[in-house]
Structure 1
C-alpha cells in the first residue's frame, strides 16, 4: 500500500533528483548536502537497517532521543516509509535511536537500541557500546539502496505523536502534520526549533517541491550563508 511518506520519497528521487533537498550546517564547519537521490538512498538504507536488523514493521514505534539533525530527519523518514510511528521524549517505544547509548539507554522496555553518532564524517561510534546496541554509522552503509517492505504499511496507523499529544496517521501525514509552504522555496530551518518542528517544516517544504537548509544552533546565519544557499524562506 502506498502512503504519503513512500510517495514523497518517490518524488524526491525522480523529480530534479540531483538538486539539493536537504543541506545541514553543523558545528566545526560541517556542511552536508543531500540531493533528492542521495536523500532517498540514505532513507532506503536506513529503512532496510531497521527492517532487517531490528525487525521493524508497521505499527511499531521508534523513539528518537536525538536533537534536530540531518540524521534525525533520515531516521524519521525511514520509520515512516516502513509504516512505523515516530515518538519523542520519554514516550514508550519498541525501538530507540539515541546519541547517548549509555548503560541506561534500554531502560523503559525497548527491544533494541541504535547508537547514532552525530559528527558529519563519523564512520562509526567512537568508543565502546553496551552489549546489544547497534552502531548506526557503521551498519547503515552496508544495506541496500532500494527499500522493499516485508509488510505493507497501513494508512490508518499512527505516524507521529506530538509533544501535545496529537496523533497524525500515515494517510494524513502531509495534509495534517506538514507545515504549509509556498512552492519551490529554499527554506531556512533552525535546528533550535526542535525536532518535531523541523520534521513538520521539512515535510511541508518537500511536499511543495522545495528544499531545506537545516542550521545547528551554534552556527550563525549570516548574509553570506543566506546568499550562498539562495535561501528564499525564513
Structure 2
C-alpha cells in the first residue's frame, strides 16, 4: 500500500475510519475523508517544506521515484498514546521516513539531540530538551492534542519551535507529493478484506498501534482504539458493545 492508495481509500470511505478512546475516556471519531486530509497534510509538510529545507531535496514529484543516494529521513513522533501519533506515524512511514518514538534518552534531562539521526521532532509538550533542539537548528513542531484544537493553545512557544497545527493548516488537503514507499503489512495473519468489519484494539506505543491500524485500513476495516489498560476487560467490553466492534 502506497501513500496515494491509502489516501484514496480513506477519502472514498463512508463512516468512521478511526475511533479513539483516550485514557481519560474521551471519545474522538474520525471519518475516512477527515483521516485522509490529516495524512495528506502531514505528508505534504514532510515532503515539501521539511524535506526541501533539511535535505535540499523536495520529495519526488508524482510518479517520480526518489533518486539513488537520497538521505535517510528520520522523524521523532513524541505524542504519547494519541490518534495524532497514529496519523503522524502513518504519514511518515508512507512518505519514506523512519519514525522514532518518544523523547531521546541519550543523556539525563532529555538526551543529546540529533545523535539518533532525527531531523524533525514532533512534541505535545515543549520542555528544555526540545527547546534546546530548536535553538540548535532542529525542526521542532509543537502539536496541541486538545480536542478541536486549531493551533497551539499552551504557553508561548520558545524561539524556533513551530506550531504544528498552524503549519499543517496551510498545507493542501490533497496530496502534492507521491513518494514511492510501500507499506507491506504484517508477514503473517493479515486481516481479511471486509468493509463492514469494525475492530477494537487496546492502544500500545505509536508504532505498534499504527501497524495494526494500517493493516485494517488496508483491508477496508473501521478501527476503534481504546486507551484503557489491557486488563480492564469490563471497560473494553463496554466499548466493544457500544461501537459494535470485535475485540482483537
Question: TM-score, normalization: structure 1?
Answer: 0.77
- Structure whose alpha-carbon radius of gyration is higher: 2
Whether 1:181 aligns to 2:194 is no
Structure 1 unaligned segments of length 5 or more: list them.
155-169
Q: Following superposition of structure 1 onto structure 2, how do residues 65-80 of structure 1 map, counting pairs within 5 Å?
A: 65-80=78-93
2:108 maps to what in 1? none
Q: Answer yes or no: is 1:204 the counterpart of 2:193.
A: no
* Number of equivalenced pairs: 211
Structure 2 residue aligned with 1:147: 175
1:227 aligns with 2:225: no
Matches within 5 A, 1:62-141: 62-89=75-102, 90=104, 91-105=116-130, 106-107=132-133, 111-125=138-152, 126-141=154-169
TM-score, normalised by the number of residues in structure 2: 0.73
Q: Is contact 1:177-1:200 (8 Å) kept? A: no
Whether the 8 Å contact between 1:178 and 1:201 is mirrored in structure 2 is no
Alignment RMSD (CA, Å): 2.7
- Return the alpha-carbon distance in structure 2 between the equivalents of residues 179 and 146 of structure 1: 32
Change in Cα spacing, 1:81 to 1:204, as seen in structure 2 (3 Å) is closer
* Cα shift at 1:206: 0.9
For residues 194 and 207 of structure 1, what CA distance do their matches in structure 2 show?
A: 20
Change over 3 Å in CA distance of 1:175–1:110 after alignment to 2: farther
Deviation at 1:11, TM superposition (A): 1.7
CA contact (8 A) 1:22 1:212 kept: yes
Equivalent pair of 1:123/1:137 in contact (CA under 8 Å): yes
Q: Secondary structure at the match of 2:207?
A: helix
Q: CA deviation at 1:9?
A: 2.1
Q: Is contact 1:71-1:118 (8 Å) kept?
A: yes
Give the C-alpha shift of residue 179 in structure 1.
6.5
Q: Residues 174 and 203 of structure 1 are in contact (CA less than 8 Å); yes or no, is this contact kept in structure 2? A: no
* SS of alignment partner, residue 93 of structure 1: coil
Q: How many angstroms does 1:21 deviate by? A: 0.8
